[in-house]
């Protein structure tokens, strides 16, 4: 029985039934704003208070930094629930004051068959954004979390019925799974409901996928489909040496809650076979200062050759921001003279010919790729950044264009 006064939506109740480790696999999948992460975050905190020797890992396929982990969510929950006296919150982990309980945050792509053994003895693995987990990662993780009574928790927004995480819950008597959406969440805000309704008015299939949690379906006129993207996926350790790497920006010139996202995509090219690898989608909704800093950080992190930015709307904005942020960055501006679909078609052809690969799964980028068909007032910022990146790599001579001075 819970010792904390947690308001629990009715959809969560099947996940709370059973003894420790029975069932072993507990999952919640569905649309955005359904409360999946909040439920599991509260479950982590409650478990540690009830059993202060519990060891929990919060894991996802790729975790570049703690910025993208659930650490902040758990810290916020601890503060809101008024249970800070139970915990010692450190820079990269949470520990119990009494007992030897701990929560750590990692990415599966960073593990090998040897290094994953360090997770033996953990009681719970919460797999976040489980739609992005590769079959390799799940095959490493599952037998590693094998302590008596151990459990694996999964939360995800469904993409394809063929995704590896989906297979865990098919015909599995040792698993419980709930499908939930924002309409099941009693705490959803009116602003979120309005956002969902705007999506439904513009694109019902996109609404069904993003907000109701249905699988992706092929869109008439779209250049990409789920099977094409599934075939493009590779693990990080399968990427060969790259001779050129670029960071492409499709900038938003404003920075408020209603602004478009700024698309930021990192991609590279091999030397001999003209093969391209999408390394990271680091797009965000933020102020110009925020997105230019992220682009510069990624430029140095990947030792990129160039930052590319579309300047149709922002004019000299990107150059001026770079001048004030890092004058040594190699930069080239690009200007769209053709429509988005025309620019995207040759890139889609490279995917069809198995010339472009994704280093993991980039759910939000891939949603834009699958749902964009050139119709309606839609701004696929992540997709635009991807197109600019691959276009530059395919045309590049290998020499930097110029540097900010």
- Pair 129, 156: CB distance under 8 Å: yes
Return the pLDDT at 329. 93
Domains of the chain: 10-184 (3.40.50.300), 226-395 (3.30.420.280)
Contacts of 387 (CB under 8 A, 6+ apart): 340, 343, 344, 347
Helix (H) or strand (E) holding 265: strand 263-269
Contacts of 56 (CB under 8 A, 6+ apart): 44, 47, 48, 101, 102, 103, 104, 122, 123, 124, 125, 126
Tell me the percentage of the chain whose pLDDT exceeds 70. Answer: 92
Q: What is the mean pLDDT of the chain?
A: 90
pTM reported for the whole predicted model: 0.76
Quickly state the pLDDT bin for 227 (edges 50, 70, 90): confident
pLDDT tens-digit profile of 172-198?
999 999 999 999 999 999 999 999 999
23 pLDDT above the threshold of 60: yes
Using CB atoms within 10 A of its CB, is residue 297 exposed (0-12), middle (13-18) or buried (19+)? Answer: middle
């Amino acid at each position: 029985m819970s010792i904390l006064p947690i308001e629990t939506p009715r959809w969560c109740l099947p996940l709370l039934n059973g003894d420790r480790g029975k069932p072993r696999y507990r999952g919640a999948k569905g649309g955005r704003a359904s409360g999946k992460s909040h439920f599991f975050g509260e479950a982590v905190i409650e478990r540690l208070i009830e059993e202060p020797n519990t060891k929990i890992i919060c894991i996802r396929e790729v975790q570049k930094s703690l910025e993208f982990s659930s650490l902040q969510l758990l810290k916020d929950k601890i503060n809101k629930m008024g249970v800070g006296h139970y915990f010692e919150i450190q820079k990269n982990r949470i520990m119990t004051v009494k007992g030897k309980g701990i929560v750590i945050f990692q990415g599966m792509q960073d593990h090998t068959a040897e290094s994953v053994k360090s997770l033996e003895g953990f009681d719970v693995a919460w797999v976040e954004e489980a739609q992005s987990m590769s079959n390799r990662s799940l095959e490493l993780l599952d037998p590693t979390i094998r302590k008596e009574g151990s459990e694996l928790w999964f939360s995800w927004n469904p993409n394809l019925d063929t995704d590896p995480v989906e297979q865990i819950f098919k015909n599995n008597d040792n698993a419980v799974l709930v499908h939930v959406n924002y309409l099941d969440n009693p705490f959803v805000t009116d602003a979120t409901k309005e956002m969902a309704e705007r999506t439904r008015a513009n694109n019902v299939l996109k609404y069904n996928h993003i907000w109701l949690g249905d699988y992706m379906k092929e869109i008439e006129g779209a250049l990409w489909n789920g099977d094409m993207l599934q075939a493009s996926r590779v693990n990080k350790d399968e990427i060969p040496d790259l001779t050129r790497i670029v960071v492409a920006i499709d900038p938003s010139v404003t920075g408020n809650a209603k602004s478009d996202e700024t698309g930021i995509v990192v991609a590279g090219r091999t030397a001999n076979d003209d093969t391209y690898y999408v390394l990271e989608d680091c797009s965000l909704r933020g102020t110009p200062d925020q997105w230019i800093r992220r682009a510069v950080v990624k430029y140095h992190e990947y030792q990129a050759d160039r930052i590319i930015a579309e300047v149709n709307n922002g004019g000299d904005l990107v150059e001026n921001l770079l001048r004030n942020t890092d004058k040594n960055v190699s930069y080239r501006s690009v200007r769209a003279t053709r429509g988005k679909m025309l620019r995207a078609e040759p890139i889609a052809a490279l995917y069809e010919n198995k010339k472009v690969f994704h280093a993991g799964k980039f759910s939000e980028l891939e949603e834009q790729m699958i749902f964009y068909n050139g119709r309606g007032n839609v701004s696929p910022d992540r997709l635009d950044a991807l197109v600019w990146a691959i276009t530059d790599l395919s045309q590049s001579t290998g020499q930097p264009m110029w540097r900010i001075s």
